Homo-oligomer: A and B are copies of this chain.
Amino acid sequence: MSPLFIEIIGMLAAVIGTICWLPQTLKVIQTKDTKALSFWTNLLLLITVVLWFIYGIGVGSLPIIIANTAAIILVGTIVIYKIRFG
């Protein structure tokens, strides 16, 4: 694989891995149905994106900081709804 191809794959993964939360967050807000969602998966996910956010600050990467700020808002919303609606 060429370095450019590898970089593009990595960037695609980072972008899709961030926007992927949007449909789940919208669904949870619209339906308030969180029954099938795992509390632990979403809490651990929130911890994960907070850690990536800190990592982004540590390495000074604006794309990592921006992507994980978005992810913190989206996944954080899911966790709040899960706690509130069970």
Contacts and interface: CB of A to CB of B under 8 A. Distances in A.
Interface of A: 1, 5-6, 9-10, 12-13, 16-17, 19-24, 26-28, 31, 33-41, 44-45, 47-48, 51-52, 54-55, 57-59
Contact of A51 (B16, B27, B57): B16
Given A33-B35, A36-B27, A40-B23, A17 B48 contact: yes
A36 B34 contact: yes
B9 A55 contact: yes
A23 B51 contact: no
Identify which of A27, A35, A54, A55 gathers the most chain B CB atoms within 10 Å of its CB.
Answer: A55
A26 B37 CA distance: 11
